[in-house]
Homo-oligomer: A and B are copies of this chain.
């Protein structure tokens, strides 16, 4: 009858995400990175020179959130923003050498966090778990 938070997917999702963020922060802060910056770098390591709009679409955050995160990354010397040749509204986001050098250590840190997090799941369950997360994400996006 009463609502049990430890049985609520939404509550567990929040708790899990906070723990993941803390675990990642512990491992990448020594690199001078924060989790929000890391996810931007994931996209730029894959394809450099994206616009803010591209990043917003790929990471599914609001434009204002991305603008602020990019400001902090520029302040920290991770990216540079240069005007787009064809569209003067847009600014291309490019990695600095410093950011390029962080790819290997930062992705290793994230891989280790994921491995530890999933360590208690039966090996066969790990892929199932990712699929379920993706299914829930798809359902929530459809509901939006």
Contact = CB atoms under 8 A, between A and B. Distances in A.
A122 to B, nearest CB: 10
Given A3-B107, A5-B39, A16-B136, A10 B117 contact: yes
A132 B134 contact: no
A13 to B, nearest CB: 5
Interface in A1-21: 2-3, 5-21
Interface stretch (A75-83, A88-96, A108-116): A108-116
Instruction: For chain A, give the interface size range.
Output: 35 or more
B12 A137 contact: yes
B10 A110 contact: yes
A121 B107 CA distance: 30
Copies assembled: 2
Contact of A144 (B22, B46, B60, B121): B22
Contact of A140 (B23, B42, B43): B23
A132 B16 CA distance: 11
Interface string A31-46: 0000100010011011
List the 9 closest pairs (A to B, CB-CB), nearest first: A17-B17, A19-B140, A12-B133, A3-B107, A10-B20, A13-B17, A120-B135, A120-B139, A13-B20
